[in-house]
Amino acid sequence: MKTVGIVAATLATTALIGGGAYWFYKRRQKKKDEEEVDPEDLPNDADDDGVTEPVTPDEVRPRGGFMDRNTLPDDVKQKFVEAFGGYAPPKDEILDNLTQEDVVLFGVKSEPVPGYPSVREEILTAKVRTVEDTVIRARISEPPLYSAHLGSHAGHGFRIGEMVEVPRGVIIFAARPKPSEVKGYGEYGRPAGTFESSHVSKKSYDVHPGTPYDLVMPYITDDIEFHVDREMVRFELVGTKGLRQQIVFKEGSMHGDVTLRALDRDPKTGLVFVARWNFHIEP
């Protein structure tokens, strides 16, 4: 397989990318079923005495690292062979020429923490932001399955929307997605979160640029306008689905707190308040 084929290949393989998590899941699930968990490894509150022994939150937060691509399971490599006629991680000459239209795939592995001794592995997809000498800076673009702890399995802590510095040596695959046929709602993929209005929920939401989110609208009309209270914040209204308005904050928007308001321009009374969302834009 020619190396250039890795980049030239379009992601009609979206199913392949998303499926990577499924292959890893099956592999890990089988091992889990064959293993017995040591009672000493169970969470501190797993007994039936009704008493929960506190654990320092930082000790149990989900965390993980990058997988060595040389240890990629044979069944996963075979999927690449079937799709592209071979398997060969991208060389530096390919990575040097990646643009912001491209994505990279890499594996992550969770780190066992107190109460969660079992490990999860997952392939993630991230959209390239910058190409650097030793890493590719990219934003995770698909919702991971195993970010959080589940049962006795530790979560890896990598989440959609987060910027990650991916070492070149762990990148499994690099490609340019073919243009999506979806326009409007869903054009940027599945939403990373669904947010009720802050004046109802009393919450402020953490969001990332370049990532789709759904706003729950009390109602939608053709005359609704959206306004932010900071000039250095840019956003795109992607589309609606029922009473959900999808939105993406643009890369380059200033980080920090911002308030987004939906106002209805009534022909008789002028602008009428509809809803408000308080956000904190993270890197």
The whole-angstrom separation of Cα 117 and Cα 40 is 10
Residue whose C-alpha is closest to residue 106's, from 83, 138, 148, 145:
138
Task: Specify the CATH number for 194-281; select among 2.20.28, 2.60.120, 3.40.50, 2.60.40.
Answer: 2.60.40
Domain chopping of the chain, boundaries: 4-175, 194-281
* 92 contacts: CB under 8 Å, gap ≥ 6: 168
User: Following DSSP, what letter does each residue of the chain receive, concatenated?
Assistant: --THHHHHS-STTHHHHHHHHHHHHHHHHHHHHH----GGGS-TT-SSSS-PPP--HHHHS--EEEPPGGG--HHHHHHHHHHHSS--PPPHHHHHT--TT-EEEEEEEE--BTTB-B--EEEEEEEEEEE-SSEEEEEE-S--S-SS-BTTBPP----TT-EEEEEGGGEEEEE-PPPPS--STTTT-S-S-EE--HHHH--EEEE-TT-EEEEE-S---TTEEEEES-TT--EEEEEEETTEEEEEEPTTPPPEEEEEEEEEEETTTEEEEEEEEEEEE--
Angle (nearest 5°) at CA 131 between 181 and 213: 40
Q: In which residue are the tokens 């928007």 written?
A: 253
Please give the C-alpha separations between residue 58 and each of 62, 155, 185, 210, 282, in angstroms, as whole numbers: 9, 13, 37, 28, 20
pLDDT for 164-186, tens place per residue?
999 999 999 998 888 888 899 99
pTM: 0.76
pLDDT of residue 72: 84
Residue 130, both tokens: 């910058």
Please report, as a single letter, which amino acid is at residue 167.
P
Q: State pLDDT tens for residues 91-128.
A: 999 999 999 999 999 999 999 999 999 999 999 999 99
pLDDT per residue as tens digits for the range 39-68: 444 444 433 444 444 555 788 999 999 999
Tell whether the model's pLDDT for residue 16 goes beyond 90: no
Lowest-confidence region among 36-40, 129-133, 172-176, 189-193: 36-40
Indicate the angle between helix axes 14-34 and 74-84, nearest 10 degrees.
Answer: 160
Distance CA 111, CA 50 (A): 28
What whole-number distance in Å separates Cα of residue 116 and Cα of residue 43? 7
Q: From residue 231, give the alpha-carbon distance in Å to each of 7, 76, 192, 259.
A: 37, 46, 24, 11
Q: Which residues of 104-120 are buried (b: 16+ CB within 10 A; e: fewer)?
A: bbbbbbbbebebbbbbb
Is the Cβ–Cβ distance between 137 and 209 less than 8 Å?
no
pLDDT of residue 167: 97
pLDDT, tens digit (0-9, with 9 covering 90-100), for 196-254: 999 999 999 999 999 999 999 999 999 999 999 998 999 999 999 999 999 999 999 99
Residue 30: pLDDT band (50, 70, 90) is very low
